[in-house]
Structure 1
């Protein structure tokens, strides 16, 4: 797996685990939502500064975005579509 794919895989996994949409992550990290999608698909070269901003929003060290997933790991599932219910 190449570095861009690893970063995208980990970003999506961590984002979904925390229940964040791409839009919410992007807003909190001050980046474009479409950029987050391209990073998750592995089609964007990410700067260290952007990795740091996304890691901060996800409350993880930057290094956690660079850890190669287990070869048998299932692809991270998407969040359920639509708005969250009011709490």
Structure 2
């Protein structure tokens, strides 16, 4: 799984868990909604600055946004 895909999946999952719309998260993180949408699609790489802003709004450590999901982590370890 590409790092952009991991980030996109985690970003979407964490945003939904907080009950935030893309508009709300984008506003709070001071990024455009279209940029956030592209991040959630895995179309763009996020800078460390953006990762930090999004993590702060989502109230998670930045590392949570790039962690492999548990099932993917197990498969990666077996290889």
| Richer in helix (by share) | 2
| Unpaired stretches in structure 2, ≥5 consecutive residues | 73-79
Q: TM-score, normalised by structure 1?
A: 0.79
Residue 59 of structure 1: CA displacement?
0.1
How many residue pairs are counted as aligned between the two chains? 71
Whether 1:22 and 2:22 are equivalent positions in the alignment is yes
Q: TM-score, normalised by structure 2?
A: 0.87
- 1:2-81 to 2 correspondences below 5 Å: 2-69=2-69, 70-71=71-72
| Unpaired stretches in structure 1, ≥5 consecutive residues | 72-87
Give the root-mean-square deviation of aligned CA atoms: 0.6
Q: Distance in 1 between matches of 2:53 and 2:27?
A: 11
Secondary structure of 1:36's aligned partner: helix
Residue 45 of structure 1: CA displacement?
1.1
Which portions of structure 1, spanning 4 or more consecutive aligned residues, are displaced by more than 2 angstroms? none
